[in-house]
Amino acid sequence: MNDAVLILDIGNSRIKWAMFQDSEWLADGFSTHDCMDTIQREWARFPTPHKVIGCNVAGKKVSDSISDYWLGRGIQVNWVKPSRFCAGASNLYDSPEQLGPDRWAALVGAWHRVHGACLVVSAGTALTVDALNQDGEFIGGFILPGKRLMHESLVSGTHALNEFSGKVVEFPKNTADGMASGVALSMSSSVQAAWQRLASKNVPAPICLVTGGDAEWLANYVQIGVIIAPRLIMEGLLIMAREAEQT
């Protein structure tokens, strides 16, 4: 029986994918948006999966290209949209449909990992810091520029150095280190402040899960214990796919 599921996480800068079958991750990869031919050659190596499910924040042009490819192989891509409830998690956003589908998938994945209060941090093009309470309710979250966007804003808005050569140090004594350290402090402090807010409302203290391309970098500077979960969004998408089959 073909129970293979191809999972797609289309971010602002990269297309990430993974194949899941027989309770294990078989293969995965990523590409930039302008390398669609490369990623399609990768997919051509695999038999057509039972299901293709994905989330997309990169716009219609990218998702249409992927949908057309899979329609050519006889399968329709299920693009996830945020909902009020999914797989035990509740979305308390003022307008649930306005929550990014990648954030919603990460929250669903986090709830099934933890089944308790947790902070869900995604460190990519943007930094999102989302809170789940002990009842699985997404009570809100923050959106900040990510590492590269913060640095580029300094470069474009000032006469700062146009490079990423700085080191993160306690008290910087040059401009490059000042920029690198400022970005790290801003991002890590935002995560810690959100965690403290959530911890004040929940006992035991919440777990902090970090995903995204800059997850390991950010984890070095956050002064709370974190769990790096590189496939968190894909784990959530897989749970969504299974729930859809049951309804």
Is 102 designated active site? yes
CA 61 vs CA 10, 38, 58, 208, 233: distances in Å: 12, 17, 8, 34, 21
pLDDT at 163 (0 to 100): 67
pLDDT level of residue 1 (50, 70, 90 thresholds): low
Q: Which of 9, 102, 130, 214 is catalytic?
A: 102
Annotated domain spans of the chain: 5-79, 85-236
Q: Tell me: pLDDT of 121 over 80.
A: yes
Q: Tell me: pLDDT of 61 over 80.
A: yes
The yes or no reply on domain 85-236 and CATH 3.30.420.40 is: yes
pTM of this structure:
0.94
* Nearest residue to 231 via CA among 36, 93, 44, 29: 29
Alpha carbon distance 244, 86 (integer Å): 10
Shared fold status for 5-79 and 85-236: yes
Query: What is 122-178 written as a DSSP string?
Result: EESSEEEEEEE-TTSEEEEEEEEE-HHHHHHHHHHHSS--SS------SS--SHHHH
pLDDT at 186 (0 to 100): 97
| Topology, domain 5-79 | Nucleotidyltransferase; domain 5 (3.30.420)
